[in-house]
Structure 1
Amino acid sequence: MLVLSRRVGERLMIGDDVVVTVLEVRSDGVRLGIDAPRTVAVNRAEVIEAVTESNVQAATADEGAVDALRRLMPPKPPA
């Protein structure tokens, strides 16, 4: 991990087309401005983690949910 010290108004470059600017420093955090092309996804890590966890929970079906889905299916006609 690269650790840098920056002051308000100072920037850092990531590659050739992503610029991160320190906008404000507060006692409880730092405000950053990120200028990146639309093709570059910029997301907060905690949001990605929450979405991933939610997707895992949604994909895990308990027996009660499986039984409820089976009751929604019409009965198979006798052969």
Structure 2
Amino acid sequence: MLVLTRKKGQSILIQDQIELTVLGIYNDHIKIGISAPPDVQIVRSELIVSIKENNLEASQLPENTDFLKEALRQIGRED
């Protein structure tokens, strides 16, 4: 990992296409502006982790599927 120190208003340029600018510094938070081409996807890392965890949870079948069988049976009766 490359570690750089920047002050408010200073930037970092990545491959002549992506510019990160320090917009503000507030106690233990910083505000960063990102300029990038429209085809570059920018997503917060904690959001990706949350999506992966939710997808994994949703893909797991419950150990006891009897309640699902009963619900499907009840729906079949109402037709």
TM-score band w.r.t. shorter chain:
0.7 to 0.9
Task: Report the TM-score when normalising by structure 2.
Answer: 0.81
Corresponding pairs, count? 73
RMSD over aligned Cα, in angstroms?
Answer: 1.7
Instruction: Map 1:23-62 to 2 at 5 A.
Output: 23-62=23-62
5+ residue gaps in structure 1? 75-79
Q: Quick one: distance in 1 between partners of 2:27 and 2:7? A: 14
Residue 77 (structure 1) aligns with: none
Name the structure 2 match of 1:3: 3
The structure-2 alpha-carbon separation of the partners of 1:69 and 1:4, relative to structure 1 and needing over 3 Å to count, comes to: farther
Distance in 1 between residues matched to 2:34 and 2:46, nearest whole Å: 17
Identity %: 36
TM-score by length of 1: 0.81
In structure 1, distance between residues paired with 2:3 and 2:37: 24
CA distance in 2, matches of 1:70, 1:40: 47
Q: After TM superposition, which residue ranges in structure 1, 4 or more long, deviate above 6 angstroms?
A: none
> Paired residue for 2:72?
72
Structure 2: gaps of 5 or more residues: none
